Chains A and B, each alone.
Chain A
Amino acid sequence: MTEIEIVDRINFVLAEEFEIDPDRMTPTALFKDDLGLDSLDAVDMVVVLEQEFKFKITKTEAYQAIRTLGDLHAFVLARRAEASGG
């Protein structure tokens, strides 16, 4: 998958899971203020991302620092790069 495809896939699975209007899925969108997600939604975000991309997400500083959709894109891309040894 290319980076663009991964980003699109992240946006798609989150929009599906949390019933978010795809038009609101911009990289600068804040999870709480712009996408309407609450603290417990983070649990399900981990679940859908782990299922979609087949890696474990632990409470690393990088994950806990995620505030925007763009942060999440960067986090997932970095994890995929780590997993593929790049």
Chain B
Amino acid sequence: MCLALRLAASVALYAGTFLWTTVGMMAAGPVYLFLRLIHRMGRREAVRKLIWLYGRGWVTLAGMFMPIRRHDGNVASPCVLVANHASFFDTYFLGAQPLWNVCMALKGWPFRIPCYVWFMRAAGYLNLDELSLEETLAAAQAELTNGAALLFFPEGTRSRDGRVGRFRTGAFLIALQSAVPVVPLCFWGTRGLLPRGSWLIRPTRIAVRALAPVRSEDVRHRPDGHILLARRARGIISVALAEMATNGVPNNTFKEERT
């Protein structure tokens, strides 16, 4: 794609994101009331559904500028979702997976983004910079008991070179303590869209793919089980991303947003 077209697509996607966010803010109140009063959802669940709908709408919008394959298969909740992290837009692409009752566990800086912070607080997202370890473990356990999925980016930060970094093990400790499955979530191509340190969006092929839960029975009762589980999950995600880079994204589990 020539530079002018890239620039035009980048501007259009930024403008579309701004417009969609504005529309989302305006529609948030009525939709929230609808979910609370008609669907009888709790406060957090209603806000999480709102955020997921915003993400799903954004994925559909972004699909007008680039091919996006989203995961429409079954992912059972409660679970701990662990995702590779390559771009600011990874959280937007959560709208491309089927679970909406997702509680994100994030570092503090996203909680300082204007417009989003109220929704993140209202959704009960876990601010890992504010909570102590004990508070984090307790809050995570409560969310899983209530049937939510917990989302972690175990690398702790966006990849600098495109490779999957070392996984922190806290998410895996939570999964083992709560006896819920760890589901690897692959964001493929998002670094090409907007790598760390860049502001110019480059439309590219994107795929979001949830993999089968990571085998954990053999490590469940080991004191270093969370370390082994983290290594296993990182390996599975790395292999899946490499396979998608080499062989393309498998068709059978994906819905093509646009080709």
Residues of A within 8 A of B (CB): 17, 32, 38-44, 47, 64
Contact = CB atoms under 8 A, between A and B. Distances in A.
B251 interface: no
A43 B107 contact: no
Contacts of B169: 43-44, 47
Interface in B158-181: 166, 168-171, 173
Nearest to A42: B133
Contact of A32 (B129, B136, B224): B129
A9 to B, nearest CB: 19
B246 interface: no
A38 B129 contact: yes
Contacts of A43: 133, 168-170, 173, 226
A39 B156 CA distance: 11
Contacts of A47: 169, 224, 227
B151 to A, nearest CB: 13
Where chain A touches its partner, the secondary structure class is helix
A39 B168 contact: no
A54 to B, nearest CB: 14
B66 to A, nearest CB: 31
A44 B128 CA distance: 14
14 contacts: A38-B107, A38-B128, A38-B129, A38-B156, A39-B128, A39-B131, A39-B132, A40-B128, A41-B156, A43-B169, A43-B226, A44-B169, A47-B224, A47-B227
A44 B107 CA distance: 15
B135 interface: yes
Contacts of A64: 134
B108 interface: yes
